[in-house]
A and B are shown apart, each in its own frame.
Chain A
Amino acid sequence: MVNSQVRVYKPFIGPFDPCPPLPYRTYVVPPNQYIVFQPLDWPQFSLAEALKLGTLWPNLYSPYESKSKRVEEVGSDGEPV
């Protein structure tokens, strides 16, 4: 699953790398990085949803899915050896 907060880059792949290459590296830029001072009156999650997600505001919500059992976010090379 790729969400809009995930950044992708291609690391250098050498001709003599010992392990099967992973073509991409990813990192997350959460939405707070673009918010200097939180404005008033933002749209809100329902209370039940907010308690589950950890924030009242969709604008601050940053999902994160496990990379386990999968190869990074993208690509299908390099299955476990």
Chain B
Amino acid sequence: MWIYEKKLQYPVRVGKCDPYMARLLLEQYGGADGELAAALRYLNQRYTIPDKVIGILNDIGTEEFAHLEMIATMVYKLTKDATPDQLKAAGLADHYVSHDKALFYQNAAGVPWTAAYIQAKGDPLADLYEDIAAEEKARATYQWLIDMTDDVDLQDGLKFLREREIVHSTRFREAVEIIKDDRGKKRFF
């Protein structure tokens, strides 16, 4: 189970009225390398991974939900005060006809999230290397998102999230070292 703390992991400030940026941010909401995919991937893989690294998947998977909430806040702030005409002008008419201003798990191109984005192979090395790749892809996505806005407040939140991907990648690579186990040890039978 989880304990919910009713605040964001890192404060989300948006300084510029730029509804189109909301669409781009959806890449990290319901995209292949987004926070939803990350959270579900890790929390599902943790059941069939060696005991020593379950905690890493559990904690990182949980933190990904905190990131999902931050992205949702950014998207909501950018769209909640737009009229239908403003959404149309911002290139969000296709989102509006299906969802009004509701958030939806889809990527920046409007493709809905699918479980095909994630994998659980049952092999600890295969799973951990997938997780490392996912973190690096998410870091890259944050970089391209930061490139797409000149709003320094929004960039601040995105930079925090990008840095967390770097930390997570490091933890996953440590997990790989942990399950390699016996290397460099003298074992007696």
A binds B: yes
Cα-based distance from A21 to B78 in the complex (angstroms)? 11
The listed residue (B18, B83, B85, B89) touching A18 by CB distance below 8 A is B18
Q: Is the interface of B mostly helix, strand, loop or mixed?
A: loop
> Which A residue sits closest to B88, measured CB to CB?
A68
The listed residue (A11, A16, A17, A78) touching B83 by CB distance below 8 A is A78
Complex contact A18–B86 (CB within 8 A): no
Answer yes or no: B122 CB below 8 A from chain A CBs: no
* B interface bracket (residues with beta carbon within 8 Å of A): 10 to 19
Cα-based distance from A69 to B84 in the complex (angstroms)? 8
Shortest C-beta distance, A8 to chain B (Å), equals: 15
> Which A residue sits closest to B83, measured CB to CB?
A71
> Which A residue sits closest to B13, measured CB to CB?
A16
Complex contact B13–A68 (CB within 8 A): no
Complex contact A80–B85 (CB within 8 A): yes
For window 76-115 of chain B, which residues contact chain A by CB distance below 8 Å? 77-78, 80-86, 89
Cα-based distance from A18 to B14 in the complex (angstroms)? 6
The listed residue (B13, B17, B151) touching A19 by CB distance below 8 A is B17
Interface centre among A14, A19, A70, A71 (most CB of B within 10 A): A19
